[in-house]
Amino acid sequence: MAKRGKRAFKYRFYPTDAQAAELSHTFGCVRKVYNLALDARTQAWTRQERVNYNQTSAMLTAWKKTEELAYLSEVSSVPLQQALRHLQVAFTNFFGKRAKYPRFKSKKKSRKSAEYTTSGFRFREGRLTLAKMAGPLDIVWSRPLPEGVTPSTVTVSQDAAGRWFVSLLIEDPAIQALPATTTAVGIDLGITSLATLSTGEKITNPKHERKDRARLARAQRELSRKARGDGANRARARRTVARVHARIADRRRDFLHKLTTRLVRENQTVVIEDLTVCNMVRNHPLARAISDAAWSDMRMMLEYKTAWYGRELVVVDRFFPSSKLCGACGTLRSKLPLNVRTWMCECGAVHDRDVNAAKNILAAGLAVSVCGAGVRPQRESSRTGQSVVKQKPPRREP
């Protein structure tokens, strides 16, 4: 039997007024329970005490019995329990030094979502009904679910643009290792060219944000003219800005999905650089272009897709001088400004900066892949739970 993997299928749906009111109430209760539990665990932490998930679950039962928080019983208990589990995961990541201390959820800024496990929904003949919800959801099935599968988790959310989404987590039998190949590719990420491959191919950066920059600026100016507060006019202007951002993000995500799927299907080994995007965006003149390129999203997609399809992702150390290293003789230049796109080595080789970098990244990645584990620890992918090879390549003498 083929090994199965988990995959989420996300669809848009249109709730009735009653369903929208019930879901909005559920979102508020989920946020309230999360904040109450975080506050309780924080106060216990100041007293040098530990509070775990079971204790917060008991607290939830007690909260429902109080007059002030009796409204928590009006919604399904499943998403409330899931909120406590998410908080437990957040603390586990904090104590494991993989994340910062959990923060309180804001009514205006936090993501509006509720997660239901199998006891909190019914899925029959393509109709999804949530617990304590009047009737099934009106889902737009933009693509069919695999036959014979049943969701294990359902997540309902509403984005800043006011759109409603439902995500169904299933065991997808289509996720299995692809036939092995001998091809490998190195990828040099950039701004003018989003990705330059070691094969010499350059993938143009679509620059989705720049295409909609005028529309976004116009919407933001309209928002800035509205009086601050909770007025309806400001809320409409805020949704207009959010719709423009959503349009940009959707187009960017679609492009990256198509690109990463193609790279994983065509190559057995994919080698990329370990870029610190959070530090790079501090360069003010390039921050907007770097954010629009979404290199972190591309890496995340490569991580879980290579794990799905039996491929290997090698991440080369960020300090590896891929651009300044001659791919022909190994000579290392002392300096290579960003405005220099083509350069000649002392050996006579003429290099395209990005193509040369991609070839060096590939060579370094294949070297550490063959030699085995290096000095850098492996990083666990949050999407797959599998480790991603993150190696420091051997130094090459100039």
Q: Mind telling me the catalytic residues?
A: 188, 273, 354
CA-based nearest residue to 182, from 269, 58, 257, 70: 269
Distances from the Cα of 382 to the Cα of 99, 150, 252, angstroms: 12, 23, 21
- The per-residue DSSP string of 160-182 comes to TTS-EEEEEEEEETT--PPPP-S
Structure tokens at 255: 């492009």
Which residues fall within 8 angstroms of residue 246, CB to CB, at 6 or more apart?
Answer: 159, 160, 161, 163
The token pair that represents 180 in the structure block: 């092995």
Phi, psi of 238 (to 5 degrees): -65, -40
Q: What is the DSSP letter of 65?
A: T
Q: How many CB atoms lie within 10 A of CB 260?
A: 22
Could you say which DSSP state residue 304 is in? H
Bridge partners (DSSP) listed for residue 316: 273, 391
Q: What is the token pair recorded at 181?
A: 């190949």
Do the strands 121-124 and 164-172 form a parallel or antiparallel pair, or are they unpaired? unpaired
Distance, CA of 301 to CA of 296 (rounded, Å): 9
DSSP 364: H
